[in-house]
A and B are shown apart, each in its own frame.
Chain A
Amino acid sequence: MPYPEMMIKPMREEVTRLGVQELRTVGEVDEALGPGEGTALVFVNSVCGCAAGGARPALTLALQHGVKPQHLYTVFAGQDLDATARARSYFAEYRPSSPSIALLREGEVVHFVHRHMIEGRGPEAIAADLAAAFDRFCSAALPTDRLP
């Protein structure tokens, strides 16, 4: 059951103020992820303080890194149910968990951060892993012989 919107508004804004586009409808998700162009990060936001309390600050830190995905999106699990389900259909081989973070390149998942990789870790450690993934998968000048 969704939480009162007033309660989660700060959690949405903690992500959207970073310049991350929130997708709240199926149509918005398809418009954003359907073309599968370039690199895109999808942050599955969550109310759960056990993990999301670390995930959002980690995203803040990671997006200060020099290399970033071209497109930044977020959906809110447990709140925007249809949009979240549709977003997850773009990385359906990965089991749903929230919070979680998918990194896509040309529509293919190249890196995935599950909830269990967030729990109990500090934002700095999570952000460092994300930044390493950005370096690996989002560098524009990556020579083709270095592609994974």
Chain B
Amino acid sequence: MTGHVFHPGHEPLHGVTVVVEGTSGRTWVGRYHERNERGVVMHDVAIHDPATAAVSREEWIEKLRRFGIAVDEPFVILPLKEAGPIAPLVEWLETKARPAPAPPR
């Protein structure tokens, strides 16, 4: 991140597509708006729930990276107790994404 805030008065992450690792195990990817006393406010959010997802989180995020954000919820206030680490999607991909396992020969 450059640290540049395009909208004065907002946090540096405002308007940036972020990955929020939820304490529940869910992963939330969407446009960060702000953090307030109610939680982390996000727009156009895709949600990965390991209990119901057909693919791993890494595969899911790779698909988002390639084809864009498949929005599950247009607006989310993520309770602070659910909001774990937050990182811009591009940084998350650089630091946390693991390569998909090689296909069996």
Chain B interface main SS type? loop
Contacts of A48 in B (CB 8 A): 15
Q: How far is the CA of A121 from the CA of B3 in the complex (A)?
A: 10
- CB-based contact B17/A119 at 8 Å: yes
Report the nearest B residue to A97, measured CB to CB. Answer: B68
- Give the residue of B7, B14, B17, B70 whose beta carbon is less than 8 angstroms from that of A115: B17
A53 is an interface residue with CB less than 8 A from chain B: yes
Report the nearest B residue to A49, measured CB to CB. Answer: B6
**Segment among A20-28, A35-43, A58-66, A88-96 that sits at the interface with chain B:** A88-96
Q: How large is the interface on B (under 10, 10 to 19, 20 to 34, 35 or more residues)?
A: 10 to 19
Contacts of A117 in B (CB 8 A): 90
- Give the residue of A49, A93, A115, A120 whose beta carbon is less than 8 angstroms from that of B67: A93
Q: How far is the CA of A120 from the CA of B90 in the complex (A)?
A: 10
- CB-based contact B16/A94 at 8 Å: no
- CB-based contact A114/B88 at 8 Å: no
A51 is an interface residue with CB less than 8 A from chain B: yes
**B interface list, Cβ under 8 A from A:** 1-2, 4, 6-7, 14-17, 65, 67-71, 88-90
**A interface list, Cβ under 8 A from B:** 48-51, 53, 93-97, 100, 112, 114-117, 119-122
